[in-house]
Chain A
Amino acid sequence: MSDTPIPISTTLRSPAAAETAPRSASEAAPASKISVRDLSFFYGEHQALYHNDVEIAPSTVTAIIGPSGCGKSTHIRAYNRIFELYGKDRATGAVLLDGENVLGPDVDVIELRRKVGMIFQKPTVFPQSVFENVAYGLRIHFRLSRAEMAERVEKALRAAALWDEVRDKLSQPGAALSGGQQQRLCMARALAVEPEVLLMDEPTSAIDPVATAKIEDTVQDLKASYTIVIVTHNMQQAARISDYTAFFYGGRVVEFGPTRQIFTKPNQRQTEDYITGRFG
């Protein structure tokens, strides 16, 4: 962080509401969209996560903050089992999505990933047209007529606040858009399959401030219908857009609670040190 401390409480979005409701894991459990229970993660021999417990309420934005290499991304990559691309990595414990453990052996991973969408750090536009990028997921999961397809692509692009900018460019290659537009195209692509949860892994770290602001606005609009978990390096961003914040350090969840509480009166010394910029 920078040397000058930024009065982070002034950027907090939700004022008193969250403050009055301190949550403990047991209290919130029944209402949780996602319950992470004792999640540990191993990259081959190396353990990256230790006994993570997190409860994520539906229709909220949860930010995950912490220094580089603390396991933030690793943590959310267990939610959609995307880590399975690499053979030797494994997760233990449970990630309950609506009460069902997504790490279980009988889970239909394809359906899981429809329900749990993901946005990555850098825009990952496929080498296809704007339209085909958004249609990619739809073609996997649904059999749609041409008209239905066009309708759902438009809806997804609108949800990602991109429609007005690309409505005349649908047949152009996705790679021709600007970086910020590409990232929103990726959001539209993820939203098109109508997920319930949206995981965002440092979605604005590779794009400029104006585009970042647009994405943050979009996140606020999406909150009503989706449960959003966002990993971010940017603490102002966490303070601006999230309802809950988890602070990770060394693969452990050091503190988890309402964002306002984490940023104004954290219970843990480590959290306070990180937030005030003393390390990290």
Chain B
Amino acid sequence: MKRRSRELRKLKDLLVKLCSMGAALTGIVFLFWILSEVAIRGGSALNWALVTETPPPPGGTGGGVAPAILGTVYMMALGALLGVPPGLLTGVYLSEFARGNRFGAIVRFMINMMMGVPSIIMGLFVYAVLVLTLGHFSGYAGGVALALLILPIVARTTEDMLALVPNTLRESALALGAARWRVTIGVVFRSAQSGLLTGVLLAVARVSGETAPLLFTSLNSPYWPQSLNQPTANLTTTIFNFAMSPYHSWQATAWGASLLITAAVLLVTILTRLMLQGSKR
């Protein structure tokens, strides 16, 4: 019997290690490239006016994206308000009441499908259902489109987080005579608290960068949002419009807005990370 070469085995080992490390590095390189580009170009456009003033007229200088910041915040709040509660409840249903049952499997499949639906389709759907029936673009429609994107993400993370709660904990509460709802709210939810909050924040952060669902729903506006019942300014559509414009000042403003939204998402992500670590101790 011939023994396999030890050197060859070691070489293969090294090769696989190098390849996977290289792939990982490529991803990180692009992330830092993107971040540095946004930081440099956006940084130069950063000033007080950017976050306090309305957009400049075409070709004009100065001004900012303050109405868009406000509009995005409003619509994200509406989207979270409409999307998070049903998402949480769906996750509870899937994890606590539909383990191994057929309808649960169907719901789980549907939620996965919903997560895979391109966001522009969500936008088109809301356009057809809300914008066309109401006859005009509105912040409400934008909020609904964002809610439809938030719901499945929250449902999934909720199910995953609740599934991490050991069954013995449920059993101990049940063994004391607790009813199912009491176990879910008092023990399971409490155990998964930080995970649930993380899921919600990450869903909101992820969806806050969406442009496509807002293009046909809230549209955009250069004015302060007076009511969500009219076209509403928002950061992502503003970036889209300004970046595509021929005016240098608008392009610079788009970079500034990009930096703002990237920083906000990054901040939320880091905060949730820290929160998770804090609760693990």
Contacts and interface: CB of A to CB of B under 8 A. Distances in A.
Given A87-B99, A87-B100, A124 B171 contact: yes
A86 B187 CA distance: 18
Contacts of A141: 177
Nearest to B279: A127
Contacts of A124: 166, 168-169, 171-172
B184 to A, nearest CB: 12
A137 interface: yes
A279 interface: no
Given A87-B99, A136-B186, A110 B179 contact: yes
Interface residues of B, number: 23
Contacts of A136: 173, 176, 178, 186
Nearest to B182: A140
B178 A120 contact: no
A82 B101 contact: no
A140 B174 CA distance: 11
Nearest to A190: B176
A110 B183 CA distance: 12
Size bracket of the A interface: 20 to 34
A87 B171 CA distance: 14
B231 to A, nearest CB: 46
A136 B176 CA distance: 8
Contact of A137 (B166, B176, B190, B193): B176
Contacts of B99: 86-87
Contacts of B172: 118, 120, 124, 126, 186, 189
A113 B177 contact: yes
B206 interface: no
A111 B176 CA distance: 9
Contact of A113 (B168, B175, B191, B193): B175
A85 B178 CA distance: 12
A278 B101 CA distance: 43
Contacts of A122: 168
Given A87-B99, A88-B100, A118 B175 contact: yes
A128 B187 CA distance: 9
B189 to A, nearest CB: 10
Nearest to A192: B176
A40 interface: no
B226 interface: no
Contacts of B101: 87
Interface in B70-97: none
Interface string B146-167: 0000000000000000000011
A137 B101 CA distance: 30
Given A122-B168, A126-B169, A186-B172, A114 B177 contact: yes
Contact of B177 (A126, A128, A137, A186): A137
Interface string B218-262: 000000000000000000000000000000000000000000000
Interface in A52-89: 80, 82, 85-88
B41 interface: no
Given A126-B190, A127-B191, A140-B182, A85 B174 contact: yes
Nearest to A137: B176
A140 B183 CA distance: 11
B136 interface: no
A193 interface: yes
B75 to A, nearest CB: 34
A117 interface: yes
B177 A120 contact: no
A121 B166 CA distance: 13
The 8 closest A-B pairs by CB, nearest first: A137-B176, A124-B172, A113-B177, A118-B175, A110-B177, A114-B177, A127-B190, A124-B168
Interface of B: 99-101, 166-179, 182, 186-187, 190-191, 193
27 contacts: A82-B171, A85-B170, A85-B171, A85-B174, A86-B99, A87-B100, A109-B177, A111-B177, A112-B177, A114-B177, A120-B168, A120-B175, A122-B168, A124-B166, A124-B168, A126-B169, A126-B173, A126-B187, A126-B191, A127-B190, A136-B186, A137-B178, A140-B176, A140-B177, A140-B182, A141-B177, A193-B176
